[in-house]
Chain A
Amino acid sequence: MSSIRIICPNGHLGFAPMMTGSFELGVAGKPDFIAADSGSDDIGPVPLGHDVCASPRAWQEHDLEHMLLAARKLGVPMLIGSAGDTGTNSRVDMYVEIIRGLAGKHDLPPFRLGWFYSEVSKEYVRGKIRSGSAVKGLDARSDLTESELDATDRIVAMAGVHPFLKLLEEGCDVIIGGRCSDSAIFASAALFKGHGEAQAYYLGKVLECASFCAEPYGAKETVEGTIEGDKVLVTAMAPYQRCTVASVAGHAMYERSNPFHEYVAGGLLDMTDCRYEQADDRTTSVSGMKFVPAEEFRVKLEGSGKVGERYVGIAGIRDPYTIANIDKVIEWARGQTEARFGKDGWELHYTVYGRDGVMGPMEPNRDKPAHELAIMVQGVAPTREMAEEVTVAGTRQLFYARLPEVKGSAGGVSFPLDEVLQATPAYRWTLNHTMAVDDPLELFPTHSAIIG
């Protein structure tokens, strides 16, 4: 079997623009596929729940344009997964529209564009629960209840290789995917070319974050992955970077709790017995990976539910006595808000920078605050009007806190702004679960069209 080469220019397309120098070097090597993932649950539940991007459209278009022009020039497929940060239907449609626009702008010869969706309706999930097929919690979560499902606004399922493979088999030149496993994008290309599952999924695992598997650190640079027989080779394209045994082995554990196992829809990539060798100055060769098919086909679900409208207020403190008593100041402001709105139906969150603003209760130095503090106040409530008033109360009442020994009786905090700022509503992750399905494609409808 011939080898396969794939380049990946960006570990999260759109989140920051790719570096074009190393991408052009990768393209010059005439890869068989150009692929990138464009989404992550790292960005929190707001983009999924509110159905918006976390990335600027100009940056998304920048990378899609470079990739599309290179792929069409070489005549090789271009694969994108988890479109627009979340992989919701609207983000897939947006990327499809961007590709159509770019094809017109550059007057590209006709090509076949494929896309698939990953959103799952609440009623579909409810049907599973009611039929007795538990939607199982991951990471210490309990099984999904209908009340938690009711609190959810939007759900995406994590596709595996299956919708990509279907579209590749239909002859698609460009594929825009809904939410999917990062590694599945690259693995589908290798499986399509007839390579083994272990090498295919490992190739995906190592390429998905682009230059995060190279050193020295430098994000958004292109890397190239190759399968030759039972080996996966990974090469840094940026002249200042190398893929070393340490950087590639180190990447296997990035963003996961277990460095030996990677779960995907349909099975498990086992990296326990991987062997790493420096193949040349910029390339590391990996062998010994295994793939264990799953007994039951379960798909991961991500869900986000709205908590309420949200405003943000900011206050500063310089008086050392007030700093020493900051918890009492916050308690006063919270109490005044409670006097106005009652105990329930709203939230106030205080983040105290200069004491424990980054780590909260895990901060070992929280008893040693700095000489000045910044307090970010977040108020959450069912309506905008109420959220604004809750946030104004929670911020402004810091000013009026009654501390017995305070010298400064003309105002207990400093305000950089008179106002509170409207933020995107607050959401929370309601689903981090898996659901059994009979057919790997049933949640991921595919479409294709000739463009140009």
Chain B
Amino acid sequence: MNTKSNTVKKLTELAKTIRSKNAGTDKITFDIIFRESETYELVKRAQVLTRKTVADILSIDEGRITDFVEYDPAYAIKFTILRPRPSGCAGDPDIFGSQQYAPFLDVEVDLTA
């Protein structure tokens, strides 16, 4: 049996909610929410979501990440980016910012971390 399949899972298998949405006119905020404390702590420990990894996944400068918060009351990792241009400019394809989370579904988490 492939050991990788036993010890590596995708974020979509571990999280309850993975979403993105406008935070005002100039930012998009991302919420990764877990059902229970153990999974939340495990993902935090694995360091797969940091300012650096988020910037790499979205091909943006780290400076565009305005907030990065581990929010214990909701077992959530939350980060916010500045949009390239304000929402709803001609050419902005996602006025609500609601479909920008998809690349985070596939982030791999090493369960042994």
Q: Contact residues of A with B, CB < 8 Å?
A: 41-46, 138-141, 245-246, 249-250, 252-260, 274, 276, 302, 307, 310, 347, 349, 351, 357-364, 378, 380, 426-429, 432
Contacts and interface: CB of A to CB of B under 8 A. Distances in A.
Contact of A45 (B29, B71, B88): B88
A327 B23 CA distance: 32
Contacts of A429: 25-26, 86-89
29 contacts: A43-B88, A44-B92, A44-B95, A45-B87, A139-B24, A139-B26, A139-B66, A246-B74, A249-B74, A250-B31, A255-B23, A257-B23, A257-B24, A257-B27, A257-B66, A302-B25, A347-B90, A347-B91, A358-B93, A358-B99, A358-B100, A359-B94, A363-B103, A364-B57, A364-B58, A428-B85, A428-B88, A428-B90, A432-B26
A254 B88 contact: no
B74 to A, nearest CB: 4
Given A255-B23, A429-B26, A44 B88 contact: yes
Contacts of B22: 41-42, 255
Nearest to B72: A249
A307 B91 contact: no
B67 interface: yes
B82 A259 contact: no
* 9 nearest A-B residue pairs (beta carbon): A44-B88, A349-B91, A257-B80, A426-B90, A429-B86, A249-B74, A139-B26, A249-B73, A250-B74
A307 B82 contact: no
Contacts of B75: 246
A361 B89 CA distance: 16
Please indicate which of the listed interface residues A245, A252, A255, A357 has the most CB atoms of chain B within 10 Å of its own CB. A255
B94 A358 contact: yes
Contact of A258 (B21, B69, B89): B69
B35 interface: yes
B76 to A, nearest CB: 6
Contacts of A276: 73
What is the size category of the interface that chain B forms with chain A? 35 or more
Interface in B23-73: 23-27, 29, 31, 33, 35, 57-60, 66-67, 69, 71, 73
Nearest to A357: B93
Contacts of B67: 257-258
Nearest to A302: B25
B79 to A, nearest CB: 9
A253 B91 contact: no
Given A44-B87, A362-B103, 7 more contacts: A245-B73, A249-B73, A257-B23, A358-B99, A364-B103, A432-B24, A432-B25
Nearest to A300: B24
B17 interface: yes
A221 B104 CA distance: 29
Given A42-B96, A360-B93, A259 B88 contact: no
Given A253-B71, A357-B93, A138 B82 contact: no
Contacts of A364: 57-59, 103
B95 A362 contact: no
Contact of B66 (A44, A140, A310, A432): A140
A310 B100 contact: no
Nearest to B29: A257
Contacts of B74: 246, 249-250, 252-253, 259
A428 B29 contact: no
A360 B84 contact: yes
B9 interface: no
A253 B24 contact: no
Contacts of B57: 364
A332 to B, nearest CB: 19
Given A246-B74, A254-B21, A378 B100 contact: no
B25 A351 contact: no
A389 to B, nearest CB: 16
